[in-house]
């Protein structure tokens, strides 16, 4: 019997993908890059190096720096210079975050049903805690779990096993809900945990999924 629902954060409760795309266009223009492929190139670079962070090949700070150096083509930038450059992006990115309208109602339905509402994210603990606090989501949760201190992030089975252990749950007692087929759904299923794919943008019409948290059931 399900005792808890584990929610991914980015793309599930809080919108950040479009925020990133808008932020990088403005930030790149500030540095003389007005190419039509700016957002696509940033997403590609970010995805590659953030994946390295998830595999613990880089720290959170290091993946930011290598993204900046590659994107702005400044391989010679020192750590301090790369950090300063990244700040020009990050304040724009954070300003663009928004919470999905169905986030709080879904969390409240889970708790009203007597289940625990937990966020399980790959993101940096401090950054994600700030995000949750900004939108008042900490008060809507029973627990927050970041994979940052684990040997690897989602979809690595160790991340799910350690998250379950931290929450005191067996795999069949927790439902994973997230927008990433690989990280959230396939990762959870690999350890015997049921999962729901949240496909807000209709990327996977051929798969079992929901397109809104309003349709979440357990």
Token pair of 88 as six digits:
């020009």
CB 93 within 8 A of CB 120: no
Collapse the DSSP code of 7 into the 3-class scheme (helix H, G, I; strand E, B; otherwise coil) and give the result.
Answer: strand
Q: What is the pLDDT of residues 97-145, one digit of tens each?
A: 999 999 999 999 999 999 999 999 999 999 999 999 999 999 999 999 9
Q: What is the pLDDT of residues 136-184, one digit of tens each?
A: 999 999 999 999 989 999 999 999 999 999 999 999 999 999 999 999 9
Query: Before 184, cis peptide (omega within 30)?
Result: no
Compute the distance between CA of residue 13 and CA of residue 218 in angstroms, rounded to an integer.
18
Collapse the DSSP code of 144 into the 3-class scheme (helix H, G, I; strand E, B; otherwise coil) and give the result.
Answer: strand
Compute the distance between CA of residue 195 and CA of residue 109 in angstroms, rounded to an integer.
17
- Asked whether residue 63 carries a pLDDT value surpassing 90, the answer given is yes
Nearest-Å Rg of the Cα atoms of the chain is 18
Per-residue pLDDT, 34: 87
| Residue that is written with structure tokens 């492929």 in the block | 37
CB 181 within 8 A of CB 168: no
Per-residue pLDDT, 214: 98
- Find, among 58, 42, 38, 39, the residue nearest to 50 by Cα: 58
């Amino acid at each position: 019997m399900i005792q808890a629902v584990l929610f991914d954060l980015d793309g599930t409760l809080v919108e950040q993908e479009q925020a990133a795309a808008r932020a990088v266009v403005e930030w790149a223009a500030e540095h003389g890059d007005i190419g039509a492929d700016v957002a696509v190139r940033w997403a590609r670079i970010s995805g590659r190096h953030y994946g390295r962070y998830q595999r613990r090949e880089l720290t959170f700070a290091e993946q930011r720096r290598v993204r900046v150096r590659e994107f702005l083509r400044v391989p010679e930038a020192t750590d301090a210079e790369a950090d300063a450059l990244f700040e020009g992006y990050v304040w724009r990115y954070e300003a663009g975050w928004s919470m999905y309208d169905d986030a709080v109602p879904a969390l409240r339905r889970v708790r009203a049903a007597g289940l625990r509402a937990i966020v399980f994210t790959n993101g940096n603990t401090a950054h994600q805690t700030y995000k949750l606090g900004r939108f008042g989501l900490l008060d809507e949760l029973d627990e927050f779990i970041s994979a940052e201190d684990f040997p690897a992030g989602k979809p690595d089975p160790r991340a799910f096993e350690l998250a379950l252990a931290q929450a005191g749950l067996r795999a069949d007692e927790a439902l994973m809900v997230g927008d990433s087929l690989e990280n959230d759904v396939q990762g959870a299923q690999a350890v015997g945990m049921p999962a729901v794919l949240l496909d807000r943008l209709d990327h996977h019409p051929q798969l079992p999924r929901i397109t809104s948290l309003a349709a979440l059931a357990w």
